[in-house]
Amino acid sequence: MSEQRAQHTRPPGLDDATVEALGQLSKALETTERARGALYDFHQLTGAADLQLGEAVELLRRAGHGEQAARIEREVLGRDVIPGHWTFQIVEAYNATYYRPFASAEEEVREQLAPGTEHLYEAEMKERRQQSGGAV
């Protein structure tokens, strides 16, 4: 048996319901990974927009529109995105409060029920689909 196949072999005594539950747990974590990526997109895009806004303020000043530049600088530039928080603080809070505990719990449960085995549900799906005539 190849090392890759052995890595995805169902531990003895592990029932279908547990494999399905572990698959759903893994899927939920993967969805959270995507949400986290979107949160980092939000963080980086908001930061880039604020830097661009700073450039716009300078261009408005150079073009002789000091009043408009001052308004944007006063009302928007460097502003908190929610009261008391810049986007990096939202990312930090999400990671500490939700993401890391979720990732840790998923890993601990998986290790308790199927030690050393990741993506068992998907590995078994791959095997079933390939055995039934699917592509290799």
Could you give the CA distance from residue 112 to residue 106 in angstroms, rounded to a whole number?
A: 10
Establish if 37 belongs to a structural domain: yes
Domain count of the fold of the chain: 1
CA distance readout (Å), 94 to 37, 38, 103, 121: 12, 12, 12, 28
2, pLDDT greater than 70: no
Establish if 77 belongs to a structural domain: yes
Establish if 61 belongs to a structural domain: yes
At 6, the pLDDT band (50, 70, 90 cuts) reads low
Establish if 99 belongs to a structural domain: yes
pLDDT for res 3: 59
Establish if 128 belongs to a structural domain: no
Report pLDDT digits (tens) over 27-51. Answer: 999 999 999 999 999 999 999 999 9
Domain of residue 71, residue span: 18-114
Report pLDDT digits (tens) over 94-128. Answer: 999 999 999 999 999 999 999 878 888 888 888 88
Q: Which amino acid is at 1?
A: M
C-alpha R_g of the chain: 24
Contact 94, 32 (CB under 8 A): no
Q: Which amino acid is at 15?
A: D
Residue identified by tokens 């999400």 is: 94
Establish if 42 belongs to a structural domain: yes
pTM for the complete prediction? 0.82
Establish if 11 belongs to a structural domain: no
Establish if 36 belongs to a structural domain: yes
